[in-house]
Copies of this chain bind each other. A is one copy, B any other.
Protein backbone atom coordinates (compact mmCIF):
# COMPACT_ATOMS: atom_id res chain seq x y z
CA UNK A 1 0.00 0.00 0.00
CA UNK A 2 2.94 2.33 0.60
CA UNK A 3 4.88 1.88 -2.63
CA UNK A 4 3.90 2.36 -6.26
CA UNK A 5 5.01 -1.21 -6.94
CA UNK A 6 2.66 -2.67 -4.38
CA UNK A 7 -0.27 -0.64 -5.61
CA UNK A 8 0.44 -1.71 -9.15
CA UNK A 9 0.55 -5.36 -8.16
CA UNK A 10 -2.68 -5.06 -6.26
CA UNK A 11 -4.41 -3.41 -9.21
CA UNK A 12 -3.31 -6.16 -11.55
CA UNK A 13 -4.63 -8.77 -9.15
CA UNK A 14 -7.99 -7.04 -9.05
CA UNK A 15 -8.02 -6.75 -12.83
CA UNK A 16 -7.46 -10.49 -13.04
CA UNK A 17 -10.31 -11.14 -10.63
CA UNK A 18 -12.59 -8.93 -12.70
CA UNK A 19 -11.57 -10.67 -15.93
CA UNK A 20 -12.06 -14.06 -14.34
CA UNK A 21 -15.49 -13.08 -13.04
CA UNK A 22 -16.50 -11.98 -16.51
CA UNK A 23 -15.36 -15.26 -18.07
CA UNK A 24 -16.84 -17.46 -15.33
CA UNK A 25 -20.13 -15.66 -15.76
CA UNK A 26 -20.18 -15.89 -19.55
CA UNK A 27 -18.82 -19.40 -20.04
CA UNK A 28 -19.25 -21.13 -16.70
CA UNK A 29 -16.27 -22.19 -14.59
CA UNK A 30 -15.52 -25.36 -16.52
CA UNK A 31 -15.61 -23.82 -19.96
CA UNK A 32 -13.79 -20.63 -19.00
CA UNK A 33 -10.11 -20.78 -19.87
CA UNK A 34 -7.09 -19.28 -18.20
CA UNK A 35 -6.03 -18.13 -21.68
CA UNK A 36 -9.17 -16.05 -22.17
CA UNK A 37 -8.99 -14.63 -18.66
CA UNK A 38 -5.39 -13.58 -19.22
CA UNK A 39 -6.23 -12.06 -22.60
CA UNK A 40 -9.14 -10.11 -21.12
CA UNK A 41 -6.78 -8.70 -18.52
CA UNK A 42 -4.16 -7.91 -21.19
CA UNK A 43 -1.69 -10.51 -19.98
CA UNK A 44 -0.02 -13.67 -21.15
CA UNK A 45 -1.37 -16.96 -19.86
CA UNK A 46 1.64 -17.75 -17.71
CA UNK A 47 1.57 -14.38 -15.95
CA UNK A 48 -1.59 -15.33 -14.12
CA UNK A 49 0.36 -17.90 -12.14
CA UNK A 50 2.40 -15.20 -10.48
CA UNK A 51 -0.80 -13.95 -8.84
CA UNK A 52 -2.79 -17.18 -8.44
CA UNK A 53 -1.52 -20.69 -8.09
CA UNK A 54 -4.36 -22.33 -10.01
CA UNK A 55 -7.71 -21.83 -11.70
CA UNK A 56 -9.41 -23.00 -8.51
CA UNK A 57 -7.58 -20.32 -6.51
CA UNK A 58 -8.87 -17.76 -8.98
CA UNK A 59 -12.44 -18.95 -8.48
CA UNK A 60 -11.99 -18.68 -4.74
CA UNK A 61 -10.65 -15.14 -5.06
CA UNK A 62 -13.63 -14.17 -7.22
CA UNK A 63 -15.96 -15.44 -4.50
CA UNK A 64 -14.05 -13.70 -1.74
CA UNK A 65 -14.19 -10.38 -3.51
CA UNK A 66 -17.83 -10.64 -4.58
CA UNK A 67 -19.06 -11.74 -1.18
CA UNK A 68 -16.97 -9.16 0.63
CA UNK A 69 -18.50 -6.39 -1.46
CA UNK A 70 -22.11 -7.52 -1.20
CA UNK A 71 -21.69 -8.06 2.54
CA UNK A 72 -20.47 -4.48 2.90
CA UNK A 73 -23.30 -3.10 0.76
CA UNK A 74 -26.07 -4.94 2.59
CA UNK A 75 -24.63 -4.31 6.04
CA UNK A 76 -24.38 -0.61 5.34
CA UNK A 77 -27.94 -0.48 4.00
CA UNK A 78 -29.47 -1.88 7.20
CA UNK A 79 -27.30 0.07 9.60
CA UNK A 80 -29.45 2.01 12.03
CA UNK A 81 -32.74 0.75 10.59
CA UNK A 82 -35.23 -0.46 13.20
CA UNK A 83 -35.57 -4.28 13.19
CA UNK A 84 -38.66 -5.44 11.30
CA UNK A 85 -39.97 -5.64 7.75
CA UNK A 86 -38.55 -2.23 6.80
CA UNK A 87 -35.10 -3.53 7.65
CA UNK A 88 -35.74 -6.64 5.56
CA UNK A 89 -36.77 -4.39 2.68
CA UNK A 90 -33.61 -2.33 3.04
CA UNK A 91 -31.49 -5.48 2.92
CA UNK A 92 -33.35 -6.92 -0.06
CA UNK A 93 -33.05 -3.68 -1.98
CA UNK A 94 -29.30 -3.53 -1.36
CA UNK A 95 -28.92 -7.22 -2.19
CA UNK A 96 -30.75 -6.88 -5.50
CA UNK A 97 -29.13 -3.55 -6.41
CA UNK A 98 -25.73 -5.16 -5.95
CA UNK A 99 -26.57 -8.41 -7.74
CA UNK A 100 -28.32 -6.85 -10.70
CA UNK A 101 -26.26 -3.67 -10.88
CA UNK A 102 -24.22 -4.90 -13.83
CA UNK A 103 -20.98 -6.27 -12.36
CA UNK A 104 -20.69 -9.83 -13.71
CA UNK A 105 -18.96 -11.02 -10.55
CA UNK A 106 -22.30 -11.61 -8.84
CA UNK A 107 -23.68 -13.71 -11.65
CA UNK A 108 -20.42 -15.63 -11.49
CA UNK A 109 -20.76 -16.52 -7.80
CA UNK A 110 -24.52 -16.98 -7.39
CA UNK A 111 -24.81 -20.23 -9.28
CA UNK A 112 -24.32 -23.94 -8.75
CA UNK A 113 -20.76 -25.17 -8.27
CA UNK A 114 -19.32 -28.33 -9.82
CA UNK A 115 -19.46 -31.02 -7.15
CA UNK A 116 -15.92 -32.11 -7.88
CA UNK A 117 -14.42 -28.73 -7.11
CA UNK A 118 -12.01 -29.00 -4.20
CA UNK A 119 -12.62 -25.51 -2.87
CA UNK A 120 -16.37 -26.11 -2.88
CA UNK A 121 -16.83 -26.23 0.88
CA UNK A 122 -14.90 -23.02 1.41
CA UNK A 123 -17.17 -21.28 -1.07
CA UNK A 124 -20.33 -22.69 0.50
CA UNK A 125 -19.15 -21.48 3.90
CA UNK A 126 -18.48 -17.99 2.56
CA UNK A 127 -21.94 -17.82 1.03
CA UNK A 128 -23.53 -18.88 4.28
CA UNK A 129 -21.64 -16.27 6.24
CA UNK A 130 -23.23 -13.62 4.03
CA UNK A 131 -26.68 -15.14 4.27
CA UNK A 132 -26.49 -14.99 8.05
CA UNK A 133 -27.37 -11.32 7.70
CA UNK A 134 -30.77 -12.43 6.49
CA UNK A 135 -31.08 -15.08 9.18
CA UNK A 136 -30.70 -12.35 11.78
CA UNK A 137 -33.19 -10.06 10.05
CA UNK A 138 -35.81 -12.80 9.90
CA UNK A 139 -35.14 -13.72 13.52
CA UNK A 140 -36.18 -10.21 14.53
CA UNK A 141 -39.55 -10.37 12.75
CA UNK A 142 -42.78 -10.91 14.61
CA UNK A 143 -44.35 -13.83 12.82
CA UNK A 144 -47.16 -16.35 13.25
CA UNK A 145 -45.98 -19.21 15.47
CA UNK A 146 -46.30 -21.74 12.66
CA UNK A 147 -43.89 -19.86 10.41
CA UNK A 148 -40.69 -21.70 9.55
CA UNK A 149 -38.10 -18.93 9.65
CA UNK A 150 -35.48 -20.96 7.82
CA UNK A 151 -37.80 -21.60 4.90
CA UNK A 152 -38.80 -17.94 4.91
CA UNK A 153 -35.18 -16.85 4.67
CA UNK A 154 -34.40 -19.34 1.91
CA UNK A 155 -37.56 -18.38 0.07
CA UNK A 156 -36.53 -14.74 0.16
CA UNK A 157 -32.99 -15.47 -1.01
CA UNK A 158 -34.23 -17.84 -3.70
CA UNK A 159 -36.72 -15.36 -5.07
CA UNK A 160 -33.95 -12.76 -5.27
CA UNK A 161 -31.07 -14.87 -6.52
CA UNK A 162 -33.12 -16.54 -9.22
CA UNK A 163 -33.79 -13.10 -10.72
CA UNK A 164 -30.53 -13.52 -12.65
CA UNK A 165 -32.43 -15.93 -14.85
CA UNK A 166 -34.93 -13.40 -16.11
CA UNK A 167 -34.27 -9.85 -14.93
CA UNK A 168 -33.67 -7.17 -17.54
CA UNK A 169 -34.21 -3.62 -16.40
CA UNK A 170 -32.84 -0.59 -14.68
CA UNK A 171 -32.34 0.64 -11.16
CA UNK A 172 -35.95 1.61 -10.57
CA UNK A 173 -37.12 -1.82 -11.70
CA UNK A 174 -34.77 -3.36 -9.16
CA UNK A 175 -36.32 -1.29 -6.39
CA UNK A 176 -39.85 -2.23 -7.38
CA UNK A 177 -38.85 -5.88 -7.56
CA UNK A 178 -37.49 -5.72 -4.02
CA UNK A 179 -40.62 -3.93 -2.82
CA UNK A 180 -42.85 -6.44 -4.53
CA UNK A 181 -41.08 -9.45 -3.05
CA UNK A 182 -41.12 -8.09 0.48
CA UNK A 183 -44.68 -6.75 0.23
CA UNK A 184 -45.99 -10.11 -0.93
CA UNK A 185 -44.69 -11.63 2.28
CA UNK A 186 -45.13 -8.94 4.89
CA UNK A 187 -48.80 -8.22 4.38
CA UNK A 188 -49.73 -11.78 5.04
CA UNK A 189 -47.25 -12.67 7.73
CA UNK A 190 -47.63 -9.42 9.61
CA UNK A 191 -51.11 -10.32 10.79
CA UNK A 192 -49.98 -12.62 13.55
CA UNK A 193 -50.91 -16.10 14.76
- For A113, the closest partner residue in chain B by CB is B28
User: Can you identify 15 A-B contacts, CB atoms within 8 angstroms?
Assistant: A26-B115, A27-B30, A27-B116, A28-B28, A28-B29, A30-B32, A112-B164, A146-B183, A154-B162, A155-B181, A158-B159, A158-B161, A161-B162, A184-B185, A184-B188
A87 on the B face (CB < 8 A): no
A140 on the B face (CB < 8 A): no
> What 4 A-B pairs are tightest by C-beta distance, nearest first?
A188-B188, A30-B31, A158-B162, A187-B188
The interface of chain A, by Cβ under 8 A from chain B, is: 26-32, 107, 111-112, 114-116, 144, 146-148, 151-152, 154-166, 176-177, 180-181, 183-191
For the complex, what is the distance from the CA of A154 to the CA of B181, rounded to whole Å?
10
Q: Chain A interface mostly helix, strand, loop or mixed?
A: helix
A36 to chain B, nearest CB (A): 11
For the complex, what is the distance from the CA of A107 to the CA of B112, rounded to whole Å?
9
For the complex, what is the distance from the CA of A98 to the CA of B161, rounded to whole Å?
21
A8 to chain B, nearest CB (A): 32
- For A32, the closest partner residue in chain B by CB is B30
Given contacts A155-B181, A187-B189, A188-B189, 6 further A-B contacts (CB under 8 A): A28-B31, A30-B31, A148-B176, A154-B159, A161-B165, A185-B188
